[in-house]
Amino acid sequence: MEIAIVDDLKEERILIKNLADKYFKERKERYDVTPHFEEFKNGEDFLKSYAPGKYQLVFLDIYMDKLTGIDVAKRIASLDKACSIIFFTSSNDHLLEGYDVHAVGYILKPVENHIASFYTALDYVCSKIELDQKGLIVLTNYGDLFLYYRNILYVECMDKALYIHLIDRTLKVIGKYKDYQHVLLSDDRFLECYRNIIVNMHYIDASTDCDFILKSGEKIPISRRKKASVMGKYMLYFMKGSVVNHVSINT
């Protein structure tokens, strides 16, 4: 895991690195992660080195000269939704802005007084990375392809043909719906909302009486007969996401 530590105080950067290193050593049986750290004394130096996809996690001090941690986080969030951000600060004045950039941690200094929340935030980051690596192999006319679950919007069987709709294209795959049904539904993010349709709930933006509306704008039908069960499963997923994707607050 590539990790950036951005803080204008050298002693704070060293402390965060040591605490994170200790965390990964203690969690080595749970997460197969090897951390690599880079330190930056200000936001400007970090952004010169930064590129989308380069870092999986960025520790950010909020109060720095010129560019603040919030400024840097907004830049990251606009370019790389997969990068996790954990704020460290001496005040909770910017808590709402932390929500705006989807930070997974907002931890007050001194950090060593809030180790439990520090570990909770890192547990979430590691679990998210593991989840992002899951996928399945599909057979197409062009050969076998590995598809990450995170890139699948929904799967449907239409006119006896099976289609997997991805975030950037649609694939016609070889095989029967039931061949993929069990595999996909074993992952919590997938829901069979209609006959022969499985949707990735991560991409649901809203719902109506009869449809899910995806973030792409597409509408996916909801089974009338199974509506109560479908909506119940979706609400459980939604509530779980609301709890997990919170900003860790320390007072």
pLDDT, average across residues 210-236:
95
How many C-alpha atoms does 53 have within 13 Å on its Cβ side?
Answer: 0
- pLDDT at residue 93 is higher than 90: no
pLDDT tens, position by position, 36-52: 999 999 999 999 999 99
Backbone angles phi, psi at 44, to 5 degrees: -65, -45
Q: How confident is the model at residue 246 (pLDDT cuts 50, 70, 90)?
A: very low
Higher pLDDT, 1 or 92: 1
* pLDDT > 70 in the chain, percent: 92
Residue where a domain stops, chosen among 70, 98, 132:
132
Read off the CATH number of the domain in which 157 is found: 2.40.50.1020
17, part of any domain: yes
Is residue 50 located within the same domain as residue 128? yes
Amino acid type, 186:
S
Structural domains counted in the chain: 2
Residue 40 to residue 222: CA distance in whole angstroms? 49
What is the distance between the alpha carbons of residues 142 and 138, in angstroms, rounded to a whole number? 10
- Please indicate, yes or no, whether the overall pTM of this predicted structure exceeds 0.85: no
Q: Which residue in this structure is represented by tokens 């402390």? A: 15
Distance CA 238, CA 232 (A): 10
Same domain, 123 and 9: yes
Is residue 6 located within the same domain as residue 128? yes
Q: Would residue 246 count as lying in a domain?
A: no
- pLDDT of 33 reads 85
| Stretch among 27-36, 93-102, 104-113, 150-159 having the lowest mean pLDDT | 93-102
Residue 168 reports pLDDT greater than 50: yes
Averaged pLDDT of the chain: 89
DSSP the chain: -EEEEE-S-HHHHHHHHHHHHHHHHHTTTT-----EEEEESSHHHHHHH--TTS-SEEEEES--SSS-HHHHHHHHHHH-TT-EEEEEES--TTHHHHHHTT-SEEEESSGGG-HHHHHHHHHHHHHHHHHHT-EEEEEETTEEEEEEGGGEEEEEEETTEEEEEESS-EEEEBS-HHHHHHHHHTSTTEEEEETTEEEEGGGEEEE-SSEEEETTS-EEE--STTHHHHHHHHHHHHHHHHHHTSPEE--
- In this structure, the answer to whether residues 139 and 127 fall within a common structural domain is no
Distance CA 217, CA 154 (A): 13
